[in-house]
Structure 1
Amino acid sequence: MIDRVTAPTLTGTRHGFLGRQGGVSTGIYASLNCGLGSADDAAAVVENRARAVAAVAPGAALVTLHQVHSPTVVTVTEAFPDADRPRADGMVTDRPGLALAILAADCAPILFADIEAGVIGAAHAGWRPALHGVLPATVDAMVALGARRERIAAAVGPTIGRRSYEVDEGFHDRFLADDEAHERFFASGRAGHHQFDLEGFIVQRLADAGLTRIAALGLDTYAAPERWFSYRRTTHAGEPDYGRQISMIALPA
């Protein structure tokens, strides 16, 4: 059975943050691996992606990106072949038949909606795109389609939690060079290290972009191996690859 988490801020859309259960992949990819970039069996990934769409937005055309940890955002007017996915980390649309989806395995998927305007968005925010502007860029692209900043709601899906996200001094210093106020997103760790609150940082970035309706689900991908894929957990376990969970939003049919 597919594990689907929804957010109250996105009521009125077809959306879901899906876990790793309910697919056909096996081994380290078990079971709902939706990552085209993984080394999983391609036919299994295609089937998993079809199951994900059926669970969230039946009949919609799935749209995903070639995610590159960038601040780049695209406006989607029609579905494109998987082989032609744009290199970007955010997307927006006002087309009801499209299901915008983000793949992640520790980075945060963020879903957006202005129901009144009929505009939705989705973004992939690891620390790089979050720091470098993918979130305000996604909001700006929604506004360009007719959304109003004060009406846009957002939800931050499963991502690595602060207790699981150890970073070094160089990482810490990079954030403080951008703004010393970012210190509040770091907690003390072992010598020479810190624990980084990616989810909290993203929520602040969304608020800075003018959003007031933000849900943070507080789901730590690293800490629940039976429920979520995690790049960092896979790395620590010495596994050769990892699956990706999918998060999706579509306008009402």
Structure 2
Amino acid sequence: MTAPIPEDRPYLTLDALDLPGVHHGYFTRRGGVSTGLYAGRNVGFGSNDDAAAVAENRARCAADLGLPADSLVTVYQVHSPTVVTVERPWAREEAPRADAMVTRQRGIALGILTADCVPVLFADPTAGVIGAAHAGWKGAFTGVLEATVRAMADLGADPARIVAGVGPHIGAGSYEVGPEFEARFLEADAGNARFFHPGRRADHPRFDIGAYVGHRLSGCGLARVAHTGHDTVEREDLFFSYRRSTLQCEGDYGRHISMIALDPIS
């Protein structure tokens, strides 16, 4: 089952993360000021888009969750298992190299940028602890999801209360990989074979990264794991996609953002 696509706002939500004191959104490319390849709400300063347009798009995302632009924090994503604890917002040039964040600070929005990789948002509303992770295949494979749960526990969260929401990402039907990619996963665990399916070409299976991420999360003892169920490659009207851009020889691509925040202090 896929999360409904609302017509009255530029982001998706999951019922599982509709929790007291928690705000979240998996933003689409709708409702932004970027043009050309980046048409819509591109939030990636790493793209060649106009920086002022990217800043405006980010500000709009924060505003949609009822927060000021300077409350949004993102990291310099490097496909790692590294998690940072956020105590205060930082300037863009101060962003640490990491792929996940956790916080118990209210009014700070944790943002993960993706364009096919898997964004995962976490919350334990009882403890007042949230997290956000960028799970590309390498980060998921090397433990970024488990590391995020451990970091949340260090702040007082109980894994048995944590809800995780898996956002839009490249679907299994769109993710063709080479034999060396599959071999890496099978060498780590023969059971990973269930995440690979025959592709259109011999020795080029399709990888179900969403199911793999779900599997890794299931080993964390969480209260619930939910998925939005959308393929970023297939829905050009809604999502940016690195793979689609590459196949179409476009030269660059936009990014969208998934965000989670605790209620600001009133």
Same fold (TM over 0.5): yes
Number of equivalent positions:
253
For 1:239, the equivalent position in structure 2 comes to 250
How far the C-alpha of 1:133 sits from its partner, in A, is 0.4
- The answer to whether the 8 Å contact 1:119/1:146 transfers is yes
CA–CA separation in structure 2 for the residues paired with 1:33 and 1:75: 26
User: Deviations along 1:56-89, whole A, 9 cap, x unmatched?
Assistant: 2323700000000000000000001000100000
Structure 2: gaps (5+ residues): 1-7
Letter in 2 for 1:18: F
For 2:130, the equivalent position in structure 1 comes to 120
CA–CA separation in structure 2 for the residues paired with 1:37 and 1:46: 12
How far the C-alpha of 1:169 sits from its partner, in A, is 0.6
For 1:249, the equivalent position in structure 2 comes to 260
How far the C-alpha of 1:216 sits from its partner, in A, is 1.2
For 2:38, the equivalent position in structure 1 comes to 29
Letter in 2 for 1:67: Q
For 1:51, the equivalent position in structure 2 comes to 60
Q: Which moved more, 1:210-219 or 1:100-109?
A: 210-219
How far the C-alpha of 1:108 sits from its partner, in A, is 0.6
- The answer to whether the 8 Å contact 1:59/1:97 transfers is no
For 2:28, the equivalent position in structure 1 comes to 19
- The answer to whether the 8 Å contact 2:80/2:98 transfers is yes
For 2:114, the equivalent position in structure 1 comes to 104
SS of the residue 2:246 aligns to: helix
How far the C-alpha of 1:209 sits from its partner, in A, is 1.5
Among candidates 68, 84, 99, match of residue 74 of structure 1? 84
- The answer to whether the 8 Å contact 1:2/1:18 transfers is no
For 1:147, the equivalent position in structure 2 comes to 157
CA–CA separation in structure 1 for the residues paired with 2:220 and 2:185: 18
The percent identity for this pair of structures is 55
Please say if 1:226 is aligned against 2:237. Answer: yes
Letter in 2 for 1:249: I
RMSD between superposed Cα atoms in Å: 1.0
For 1:169, the equivalent position in structure 2 comes to 179
How far the C-alpha of 1:2 sits from its partner, in A, is 4.6
For 1:92, the equivalent position in structure 2 comes to 102
SS of the residue 1:240 aligns to: coil
CA–CA separation in structure 2 for the residues paired with 1:252 and 1:117: 13
Among candidates 49, 57, 81, match of residue 40 of structure 1? 49
CA–CA separation in structure 2 for the residues paired with 1:59 and 1:28: 27
- The answer to whether the 8 Å contact 2:119/2:169 transfers is yes
Please say if 1:9 is aligned against 2:19. Answer: no
Q: Runs ≥4 in structure 1, deviation > 6 angstroms? A: none
SS of the residue 1:166 aligns to: coil
SS of the residue 1:71 aligns to: coil
CA–CA separation in structure 1 for the residues paired with 2:84 and 2:259: 16
How far the C-alpha of 1:235 sits from its partner, in A, is 0.2
CA–CA separation in structure 2 for the residues paired with 1:211 and 1:47: 36
Structure 1: gaps (5+ residues): none
